[in-house]
Structure formats: structure tokens, C-alpha cells
Amino acid sequence: MSSKIAVVGCTGAVGIELVKCCHARKSVFGDAPPDLYASARSAGKTLDTPYGPLTVVEFNVETLKAKAYDFIFLAVSGGFSLENAIPLTTNASGTPTYVIDNSSAYRYHDEVPLVVPEINFDSIAALDSKLIANPNCTTAIAAMALYPIHQEFKLKKLIVSTYQAASGAGEPGMQELLEGCKAHVNGDARPENKIFSHPLPFNCIPMIDKLQENGYTKEEMKVAWEMKKIFGTDDIKVSTTAVRIPTLRAHAEAITLETEKDISPQAVVDCLKGKPGVVVEDDPANNVFPLPLTCSGRDDVSVGRIRQSLIFDNKGIDLFVCGDQLLRGAALNAVLIAEAIVTKK
């Protein structure tokens, strides 16, 4: 049976990946392409997709409700989601429409599940919610590596420093980086910046998203808030420094963790082995470790540089993770939520 799917915000970096991820799971969702929606500005455009050329339709909440979709993916602003996400969960025919929202609008609402399907898929049924929030990219990528460790060794503390790609600011962010690099190699030492607060080429910017009262940015606090909600615990202390670096679409993170139980690098390797969505690449003597370039376009999160902590000794580990920001950090995670709903119900 085929699923009826809509992608709202289909022209953005995440929207484009959503369509590709659906196509890669035709065996689950069926051969029919998703319907593509965007703002009036993009309506009528034709997009090249793996399904062939598809035409963009202007978003209108009533149009979508009338279509009785099984799944609506929102790759839009938080404000747009706040206005439309809940109305879209009901439709004309009364069948369930799951709305999977990539914005942060509903992530911290107690009644809305925040889901990494490999970790807490059950929270959707537990909350009996048709609106499902997709996590922040940095959180989702780290969670793939950390949850198996948490299950076996119980996490107490997480110190995270991020190396985040331009794609976190969407297609315009990637374009600004590429054009800025072009200008820089042609002799302009401080190329123009509109998307980022400072020029990103040959720079790194230690501030992402808005400043909070405690001096951390919202991007940094998201990791703490969301990790706890996804893992279902308040007992982990999380501190993050979120830094934008001149990479295109894969985020990396240096993580120091403290556990309740004794832990070792070999125990981490053993514990991650065979876990879905995560792969250990840890042979530094042969220059094998997670890299943004090799993780770009790949579904799995890569984990490497696994070593005993010099701070927390036998109860601590340092490691490095890397994952595609547009895939596990956004589109793939959302589509895997839908896949789990289709295959498990």
C-alpha cells in the first residue's frame, strides 16, 4: 500500500533531502512521489527529483487537509509550524495525518514527542500525538552514538564542542560559504556575509542561534534540553559550545562524557557494534576517523577517536562523532519516523 506524503518547504536544503529520502524508501512508502508545497514565491517551479520532475504547489492549509495525507513533513520556519502544524494533523476524511516538524516550535512541548526513531519511537504512542517533533541536528547526530552508551553505562555528564557545517543555515548558508571561498581565493580577505554574523570562509564562528539569559546560545541549550527529552531522563548534565566552521553539510562533535559505571574504549566499540544508524570508524594509526567530507551524503553517524578520558578516568570517554546535518540531522530522521510508523503499525 502506498503512503500519501506531502513535503512543505520542498525547495530548501532539508526539503530536497526529504524527497530523496522518501524515494530511497519506495519499498516502504510506495512508488508515488510526495506532493511538494512551498510559498507563493516558489509555486509553479519544477524540481528535478529522483521521481522525475515535480511541480511545486503553493501551500494552503485547507488544500492539504482536503488531501488527507498520511504524512506531512514540515521543513519550514518555527513561526510557520506554530501556526500550521496542529491544524494539519486533522483532515477531511478523518484518517490520521502525522505531521513531522523539523522546526524547534514544538520540541519542548510536553505533549509533543521529540523522536529519534531508533531511541524513543514508543513516545509517539505513549503521548498519542499526531504531531511529532524532529530534533535539532547536533542533538540527533550525537544521540545516535550516545544512547547505546547511556543504556549500558548510564551517562552523567556530557561536554560537547561542535564543528557545525554551513548547511545548518540552509542552502543560502552553503551558497554564502562557497561564494565567500571563491572571493577569498581570488584575493578578498573578508568576503561579504549576510547569512552568518561574520564571514565564514577561513574562519570559525563560536555563536549559533540566539543568546539565552544564561550566556549560552539556543543552539547550545537545545543539545541539553533535547538530549534529556529523547533519552527520557533529567539526570544528565550537558554543556555545549556550538561553533560554525567552513564545512558544507556534515556536523562534527568532540564529546567528553562521564558515566556512572566503569567504561573503556573497547567497551564503547563493543556496545556500538551492530547498532542501527551508527558506525565505528576508529583506526587513527591508519588515518581512519570520522570526517565531514566522508560523512556527507551518508545515512550513518560515524564515531571514532574513542579513548579513555584523562579527566574522568575509568568512568569517562572522549570521542568524536560526525554525521550528515541534512540527513540524520534533519530529513533522514524525519523520514525514518514515518517509516517506523508504517512498518510498526
By beta-carbon proximity to a second copy, the closer residue of 47 and 200 is 200
**Which of 9-17, 96-104, 121-129, 199-207 is the region at the interface with a second copy (rule: CB under 8 A)?**
199-207
State in angstroms the smallest separation of the CB of 117 from a second copy.
Answer: 28
Query: Which among 295, 286, 306 has a CA at the least distance from the CA of 328?
Result: 295
CB neighbours (10 Å) of residue 99? 27
Cα separation, 329 vs 337, whole angstroms? 13
Q: Which helix (H) or strand (E) holds 220?
A: helix 218-231
Residue 218 is a binding residue for a second copy (CB under 8 A)? no
Does residue 157 touch a second copy according to CB under 8 A?
yes
- Decide if residue 178 touches a second copy (CB under 8 A): yes
Report the residue number, 26 or 184, with the smaller CB distance to a second copy.
Answer: 184
Residues 259-298, interacting with a second copy (CB under 8 A): 265, 284-285, 287, 289-293
CA 192 – CA 22 distance, rounded (Å): 36
- Judged by CB under 8 A, the stretch of 9-17, 19-27, 52-60, 310-318 that binds a second copy is 310-318
144 is an interface residue for a second copy by CB under 8 A: no
List residues with catalytic annotation. 137, 251
d(CA 118, CA 184): 42
Binding of a second copy by 108 (CB under 8 A) = no
Contact flag: residue 71 with a second copy (CB under 8 A) = no
Q: Nearest approach, Cβ of 193 to a second copy (angstroms)?
A: 10
**Which residue stretch of 10-18, 65-73, 215-223, 227-235 sits at the interface with a second copy (rule: CB under 8 A)?**
215-223
Secondary structure (DSSP) of 246-263: S-SSEEEEEEEEEESS--
The verdict on 225 binding a second copy (CB under 8 A) reads no
Instruction: State which of residues 23, 203, 218, 298 lies at the interface with a second copy (CB under 8 A).
Output: 203
Contact 123, 133 (CB under 8 A): no
- Binder of a second copy out of 197, 260, 273, 276 (CB under 8 A): 197
| CA proximity to 138, closest of 115, 111, 168, 108 | 168
CB of 197 to a second copy, least distance (A): 4
Task: Indicate whether 241 belongs to the interface with a second copy (CB under 8 A).
Answer: yes
Q: Are 277 and 118 in contact (CB under 8 A)?
A: yes
Strand order from edge to edge, sheet including 237-241: 237-241, 155-163, 250-259, 316-324, 301-308, 278-280
User: CA distances (Å), 183 to each of 166, 174, 186, 214, in order?
Assistant: 17, 14, 5, 37
Q: Does 52 bind a second copy (CB under 8 A)?
A: no
Closest residue by Cα to residue 129 from 330, 339, 337: 337
Q: Which residues bind a second copy (CB under 8 A)?
A: 157, 159, 161, 163, 178, 181-182, 184-185, 189-190, 197-199, 201-207, 211, 214-217, 224, 237-239, 241, 243, 245-248, 252, 254, 256, 265, 284-285, 287, 289-293, 304-311, 318, 320
